[in-house]
Structure 1
Amino acid sequence: MGEFDYIIVGSGSAGCVLAQRLSADTRKRVLLLEAGGSDRRFWIKLPIGYGRTFFDERVNWKYETEPEPAIKNRRSYWPRGRVIGGSSSINAMVYCRGLPSDFDGWRQQGNLGWGWADVEPYFQRSECRVDADGNVGPGGPLHVSDVSNEMHPLRHHFFAAAEEMGLPYTDDFNGSNPEGVGLYQINTRKGVRCSSADAFLRPALGRANLRLETHALVRRVLFEGRRAVGVEYEKNGQVFTAKAGCEVILSAGAINSPKLLQLSGVGPAALLRQHGIAQVLDQPAVGGQLQDHIAVSYFYKATEPTLNDQLYPLSGKLAAGLRYVLTRKGPLSVSVNQCGGFVRSRADSSHPDIQLYFNPITYSTAPAGKRPLMNPDPFSGFILSFQPCKPHSRGRVDICSADPKVAPSIRPNYLSAEQDIADVIAGGRFIQQMARTRAMRRLIAEAIAPCLDSMTDEQIVEDFRERCGSVFHPVGTCGMGPDPRQSVVDARLRVHGLDGLRVVDASIFPTITSGNTNAPTIMVAQKAADMILADQNKQDVA
């Protein structure tokens, strides 16, 4: 394949940004490798179509965790994008930066340059705000759309309940004051999903110095001593080698980046020996510090029509489909995650500690391995959900084989910290309180079992163990930090102890952000691009 200046592994949320930024210098040759294929699929472009891609092996790694003792030995299903755009092509499109305190916490852990004041400009660099009337503001290429005109009127009951509870209202979760309840903004452009590939990669693909290889499974990073010099990858049954004159950059995500490091000889020495992999660097932190958000949903029958009434009947599906085809509007043009918020579950909380979701629909999903659209229930219904924002439990990702086609072992270690149990109880009590407001009592016809209203603390925890699930926000497995014994990359995202190798994706988060992780992953890539270009400029001048 020859030699490139930069090789980027993974065309996901971060990789697309890097490809666009690094290839802007036409003197530099950039190779972008993607294990999946094209994102030009109807169910990807249709905003509500992520229900179809949820189990689609053509665009999804379809990972599962090991059985987790704390959740009744259940396996947790973790969809991750295996397609151009990565998980930004199959997610629910909610765009939340996180809370300023998240990033100030990163800085306080010794990651200089990663406080809120440092990272806010990198969020802004990507974002292009679109108001409810479709007016496009200035800014970057990633559309962050206010779709309130398409959201279901049931939301007014949620906001009325929040007002009764004394909760603040925010008109912008990505503004100066994100605390409170409000409407989620999503990544769509004129009613069509706007993924990282759409925003960043596709406009850059016409550059002669940028090469995209799809269906290219990277097998390992190649080293000369402790310097990364290229990668080996497989495509169409053949094995190829590509060399990197400047850097190899892993943007394969919180599961595949640590997996690839371990396959390449960078990881816990005992694990490498177990699988017969030659050691490049004994680094126990690779694959560790895995963090994820887990949530539980409570289902209610409603006294008023909900999205179920629109989308359950065949006639309603056809009407919504026709409206979308003709206008790119209606319920198919938005996510089912329509409103929610970041709130304090306890009076003594220093920051918002739970994230809420209010969905004007109830639905069932088919078992893993099937590929259905989420099926609305045949009655009026809605969902209240919560997730603790800052889980304290930590898990691991480790290879199970030296074969790069074998999925790794994923052990989230959910609810292993006592504080996480306390947060579950607080979240359950908070939803209880909300369901008992006058506004919610008017909306609730009946609770669908299991009924939260009568649960004790112990029953709240037991029910959470029985039914909770991932919100698909894995981070931390190549964590950033100043101590090479406890972290994988430094504050410039260079792998400790190695040269010519960085990790740029959600795996570098020192701690999980309070909300959805796609926006901060894109921010990380924007900041990383500046650091890579600055470091390379110094070398070029020298």
Structure 2
Amino acid sequence: MNPPAEILEADYVIAGGGSAGCVLTRRLIDAGHSVILLEAGGDDRSAAVYVPAGSARLVGNAMYDWKYETEPDPSRNGRIDSWPSGKVLGGGSSINGMIYLRGIPADYQRWVEQGAKGWSFPEVLPYFLRAERNENGASEFHSDQGLLGVANLRVKHPFNRLFVEACVAAGIPRNDDFNGVTQEGVGYYQATQKGGLRCSTARSYLRPVRDHKNLRLLMRAFVSRIRVRAGVAEAVEFEHYGVSKVAVARREVLLAAGTIGSPKILMLSGIGSRRELDQHGITCINELAGVGRNLQDHPGIILSYDVNMRTMNVEVHSKWRFGLRALQFALMRRGPGTTPISHVGVFFRTRPELPAFDAQVHFQPLGYEVTAHKVILAEANRVSLAVNVSRPQARGAIRLRSSNPQDAPIIEHPLLESNADVRTLIDGARVMRGIFHSPQLREHVQKEYLPGEAVTTDEQWEAYVRAASFAMYHPVGTCRMGDVTDPNAVVDAELRVKNIARLRVIDASVMPSLPSCNTNGPTIMIAERAAEMLIGGAKRHPV
């Protein structure tokens, strides 16, 4: 007979120590509440995590990445992709490309129209500001008082300037602040960094309270299910180094396991489609057909060019240059060691008649390729850019593979099922090719490496797009917010799981639709707003 599970207890139990979980923990601790934080991954305190230039080596590394695999994608010749997910405190904010963006007001108005009342841009902007500590100072659209470091790039490369000038000459407006009045245009990204180091939520929010008397932080704590009795979430069951334990919540259980993890845990707990749960022998306690549905990500493709000036690839592959740059980073926190993967952003219209931008570019003065399972850095002097669709139409799903919590879920995402998204990628790629043929860049470009100048017709472009496209690692939507009358909504506008008391989902999975940008900033905003909801509710309803 197995021994009884060890029982822990706190005001709040948070399942998931990623971008949202760290924010929630800090805010609840600061408000005087006790918290149990359960993280299935390991510690974030590693040079591999905090040196920004190492981010490409985190993705696909089993120490830091869950390395989920998708099902074969019929829209891309049956391709099977590896989907990164942070296996470390800070989650995605500890392994991502560090680009800090918010999206545009229309993104959040679309959320409202999809049933997320109270989440319009004027209503969410204060929570972006609450999080932000921008090194450029405070303004109407920025704060310098938050916990999340937001910084300008600390590395410069001459090709960045040339690329910006070529975009402006092509009619794309210059934009010095993508999080200001407008997002459209070309300019330099800001990154979630502080002092030249990655500023994940584990570093910025969690680290100062890791030893707080009101926090019980457990890493390598693998959640198996949420215990629900009579329609009330009471506890979280988990394994910690092979030992079964239970974390009891006096107030609420907060699920912050991400777009892949949160729906999986709900389904293992009996919350989801009855038909699918029956297939795995799981008793359905709350039929919510939307759990795991509505999966979205930005599809993207790479264009790359061999150039006649030294790019950052040489800094990586030359031993003496690498040593010199490592010393520069160690002594001054400057140079290529501080770089996120992308330097220059472009938000542009793939056709001039469009009412708003429909594509985004991540440009970097180094060459890389995204294969099904890893990112490969070139050894040649090469520059690259990724074009992605800002508001894609494809939808996928997260499903259970079995009732065993240790089994990875099934990820089904026909990334290019929408011909409109394919069209946007083709048109966007052609715009960017035109910029590399412009007088500002032509004398520096030796050849187009990807897809190659032989690709010219619509048919050839579509073949390249379907063979080489990939998800931009921005998955959202699988526990989406909506009106309580919407049969496909999983949580209401206060992120409470429908029909279950004292249970909320707080992470990127609640987004009804993708914002027109990278998703870490919006995820942190969601957690900031949720924390205020929780703290305000706790004041109204003391235990």
TM-score range for the pair, normalised by the shorter chain length: over 0.9
Structure 1 residues 367 and 540: alpha-carbon distance in aligned structure 2, compared to 1, 3 A threshold? closer
Aligned to 1:103: 108
1:256-313, Cα deviation, whole Å (9 max, x unpaired): 0000000000011111111111111111100000000121111111022221233321
1:225, 1:427 → 2: CA distance?
53
Amino acid corresponding to residue 248 of structure 1 in structure 2: V
Q: Secondary structure at the match of 1:540?
A: coil
1:84 to 79, 85, 89: 89
Is the contact between residue 292 and residue 471 of structure 1 (CA under 8 Å) also seen in structure 2? yes
Q: Which moved more, 1:440-449 or 1:392-401?
A: 440-449
Q: Would the aligned equivalents of 1:52 and 1:374 in 2 still touch at CA under 8 Å? A: no
Give the SS at the match of 1:23: helix
1:142 aligns with one of 137, 145, 148: 148
1:448-527 paired onto structure 2 within 5 Å: 448-452=449-453, 454-482=455-483, 483-527=485-529
Partner residue, 1:347 = 352
> Contact 2:263/2:479 (CA < 8 Å) preserved in 1?
yes
Cα separation, 2, equivalents of 1:433 and 1:103: 33
Task: Between 460-469 and 256-265, report the one with greater CA deviation.
Answer: 460-469
Deviation at 1:104, TM superposition (A): 1.6
Structure 2 counterpart of 1:409:
410
1:4-19 maps to which residues of 2 (within 5 A)? 4-19=10-25
Output one character per residue of 1:399-437: Cα deviation in whole Å (capped at 9) or x when no partner: 101111100000112121232222223222222322232
Aligned equivalent of 2:206? 201
**What is residue 25 of structure 1 aligned with on the other side?**
31
Aligned equivalent of 1:3: 9
Measure the CA separation in 1 of the matches of 2:412 and 2:431: 29
User: Retained in 1: the 8 A contact 2:299–2:416?
Assistant: no
Q: Kindly report which structure 2 residues correspond to 1:6-405, keeping only aligned pairs within 5 A, or say none.
A: 6-26=12-32, 28-131=33-136, 138-147=144-153, 149-363=154-368, 368=373, 375-377=377-379, 379-405=380-406
Q: Name the aligned partner's letter for residue 541 of structure 2.
A: Q
Q: Deviations over 1:315-342 (max 9, x none)?
A: 1111111111121111011112111221
Distance of aligned partners of 1:468 and 1:286 in 2 relative to their CA distance in 1, 3 Å threshold: same
Tell me which amino acid in the other structure corresponds to 2:497: V
Using the TM superposition, give the Cα deviation of residue 364 of structure 1 relative to its aligned residue in structure 2, in angstroms.
Answer: 5.5
Q: CA 1:211–1:35 in 2, change beyond 3 Å: closer, same or farther?
A: same
Separation of aligned partners in 2, 1:4 and 1:361: 48
* 2:11–2:252 CA contact under 8 A, matched in 1: yes
CA distances 1:54-110 after superposition (whole Å, capped 9, x unpaired): 122122111110010111101111110011111111111111111221112112223
1:416 & 1:367 partners in 2: Cα distance?
18
TM-score, structure 2 as length reference: 0.95
Q: Distance in 1 between matches of 2:541 and 2:195?
A: 43
Q: Does 1:426 align with 2:427?
A: yes
Unaligned 5+ segments in structure 1 are none
The 2-side partners of 1:45 and 1:21 are apart by 23
SS of 1:98's partner is coil
Give SS of 1:150's match: coil
**Does the residue aligned with 1:514 lie in a helix, a strand or coil?**
coil
Residue of structure 2 aligned with 1:528, choices 527, 530, 534: 530
Q: Distance in 1 between matches of 2:316 and 2:30?
A: 44
SS of the aligned residue for 1:168 comes to coil
1:225 and 1:280 in contact (8 A); partners too = no
Contact 2:31 2:535 in 1 (8 A): no
Partner deviation per Cα, 1:369-395 (whole Å, 9 max, x = no partner)? x8xx95441x32111220000111100
Partner of 2:4: none
In the TM superposition, residue 348 of structure 1 has moved relative to its aligned partner by 2.5
Across the aligned residues of Structure 1 and Structure 2, the Cα RMSD in angstroms comes to 1.8
Measure the CA separation in 2 of the matches of 1:252 and 1:24: 22
Q: Is the 8 A contact 2:422 2:465 kept in 1?
A: no
* Partners of 2:115 and 2:481 within 8 A in 1: no
SS in 2 for 1:56: coil
* Number of residue equivalences: 532
How far is 1:2 from its partner? 3.1
TM-aligned CA distance change 1:2 to 1:307, over 3 Å: closer
Structure 2 residues without counterparts, runs of 5 or longer: 1-6
C-alpha separation between the residues in 1 aligned to 2:41 and 2:538? 30
Match of 1:443 in 2: 444
Distance in 1 separating the partners of 2:447 and 2:101: 32
CA distance, structure 1, for counterparts of residue 241 and residue 417 of structure 2: 43
Mapped to 2, the partners of 1:466 and 1:111 lie a distance apart of: 36
Partner AA of 1:23 in structure 2: I
Cα distance in 1 for residues equivalent to 2:419 and 2:464: 17
Contact 2:81 2:372 (8 Å CA) reproduced: no
Q: Distance in 2 between matches of 1:518 and 1:450?
A: 29
Aligned residue identity for 2:534: I
What is the match of residue 3 of structure 2?
none
Provide Cα deviations, 1:426-469, integer angstroms capped at 9, x if missing partner.
22222232223221212211111432574212221210110111
Alpha-carbon distance change, 153 to 131 in structure 1, aligned in 2, over 3 angstroms: farther
- Cα contact 1:432–1:452 (8 A) shared by 2: no
Deviations 1:141-166 (A, max 9, x none): 1110011x512121111112111211
Residue type at the aligned position of 1:426:
D
1:538 to 516, 524, 540: 540
Conserved? CA contact 1:97–1:174, under 8 Å: yes
3-state SS of the aligned residue for 1:83?
coil
Query: C-alpha separation between the residues in 1 aligned to 2:218 and 2:450?
Result: 49
Q: Distance in 1 between matches of 2:311 and 2:277?
A: 53
CA distance in 1 between counterparts of 2:473 and 2:146 reads 26
Distance 1:279 1:367, change over 3 A: closer
What CA distance in whole angstroms lies between the structure 2 residues aligned with 1:202 and 1:469? 34
| AA matched with 2:504 | R
| 1:519 aligned partner, one-letter code | G
Q: Is the 8 A contact 1:484 1:496 kept in 2?
A: no
C-alpha distance in 1 between matches for 2:239 and 2:211: 25
